[in-house]
Structure 1
Amino acid sequence: MTTGAGAAAEPTPSQHVTSIADLVAAIMDMRPTVDHALWFRGQPSETYALLPKIARDPARTVQDIWDRESRLLARFRERSLPYLPAVSASAGLLEQLFSMQHYGIDTRLLDWSENLLIAAYFATSSDRLGDDQANDPDSRPTIWTLDPVKWN
């Protein structure tokens, strides 16, 4: 498994780890100067870009993505109202997108966690591996690390 700091103010070189203990040690080595939570994202392959689900089809243009999100958002508002009254049209856009993401609908959001072990699960869960990774011995699970304070 590879761990590295993606999208951070100062990128950290990636490190190869082979156990949870190594993973925790690698993160702890990054933390001496960090007094706040880091964010983690686990992906089954180091070759995967950090792209939200709605933007993963390379054939889609930016306009296609916006149009698709608008249609999905309108449909979600219509169909979720009886079941999720808190996610009505009066709710803010981000709250609606969070709910859509939670229910597996394509959005512009990218899931991150403050829990390293959750990221490790998503990086290594065999259910999340596509056929291309399952058959590729060089495809390594990856955990991206982001320092949200430096980023903002």
Structure 2
Amino acid sequence: MSRIEVSDDTVSYRANSLHELQTIFRKYRSVEGVGGWLFRGQADHSWPLVPKVGRSEYDSRGGSDWAMFSIWRDKATAYERLPNNELECLAIAQHHGLATRLLDWSNNPLVAAYFACKELPKMDASIYLFFPRNVIEEERFNYKDVNEVVQYIPRGLAARIVRQSGRFTYHPNPREPVEFGEIGEPFIGQRLKKITVPCSAKEEIIDELNLYNINEEGVFC
């Protein structure tokens, strides 16, 4: 099998404006027939790249996350008709605030820039770019069989997911952050990039994103 180069060896950038961000984003476009990069903005550059259930504030809630999901699913069926597969139900549960092993991403880098810059004006932000090696299918999903971070491309389960060009990654070990490193065969290149955005640039970036309708109304309504 021939190998496909999808990335260079650069893993970190710094951007002080939307123009600088766009210059970086242009380097990491979708690869036809292979897949593409996912983008995630975090308002505090020190936050680990883990799903909600893997964060320290959820350690003391007791019970496993899958047990909590099972309880949520049993109760939710009284209020709405749920999909037949676990992965879509997990996405809906996350949409309603349950801590799960899914981590939100977008395939629109400007949406990631918005989430990086819209809060915590005194903290530097991060925008992560991630190239997952595999995509998981809802019908074949069994959490016991997943042993690496994989991409999940949801259907239009909620308007907000559609507006945010939403994607997910599923994390079998939710307390382990996504790490820098090679994507792995059949791909060549680094799988994770981090762009640091200084707090001094946040307000101007938000103002410029508004020109593209990347704002509260465009992303959430």
| Higher RCO (CA < 8 A, seq sep 6+) | 1
After TM superposition, the structure 1 = structure 2 runs for residues 33-72 of structure 1, keeping only pairs within 5 Å, are 34-35=31-32, 36-57=35-56, 60=59, 67-72=63-68
- Across the aligned residues of Structure 1 and Structure 2, the Cα RMSD in angstroms comes to 3.0
Deviations 1:28-72 (A, max 9, x none): 1344x94443100110122111111111017839xx88x331332
The count of aligned residue pairs is 129
How far apart, in 1, do the equivalents of 2:69 and 2:87 lie? 11
Going from structure 1 to structure 2, the CA distance change for 1:75 and 1:58 (only over 3 Å counts) comes to: closer
Q: Relative to total residues, which structure has the larger strand share, 1 or 2?
A: 2
TM-score (norm 2): 0.50
Deviations 1:68-117 (A, max 9, x none): 31332122112211332124xxx222111111111121101111110111
Q: Which runs of 5+ in 1 are unaligned?
A: 1-7
Alpha-carbon offset, residue 23 of structure 1: 0.4
Give 5+ residue unaligned stretches, structure 2.
Answer: 1-5, 134-182, 186-221
Aligned-pair identity (%): 30
Are residues 151 and 143 of structure 1, via their aligned partners in 2, closer, same or farther at CA, if it must alter by over 3 Å?
farther
| Residue aligning to 2:86 | 93
User: Partner residue of 1:80?
Assistant: 76
Matched residues in 2 for 1:22 and 1:69: separation? 39
Are the structure 2 counterparts of residues 14 and 53 from structure 1 closer, same or farther at C-alpha, using a change threshold of 3 Å? same
> How far, CA to CA, are the matches of 1:9 and 1:105 in structure 2?
34
Q: Tell me the equivalent position of 1:125.
A: 118
Deviation beyond 6 Å, 4+ runs, structure 1: none
Residue aligning to 2:17:
19
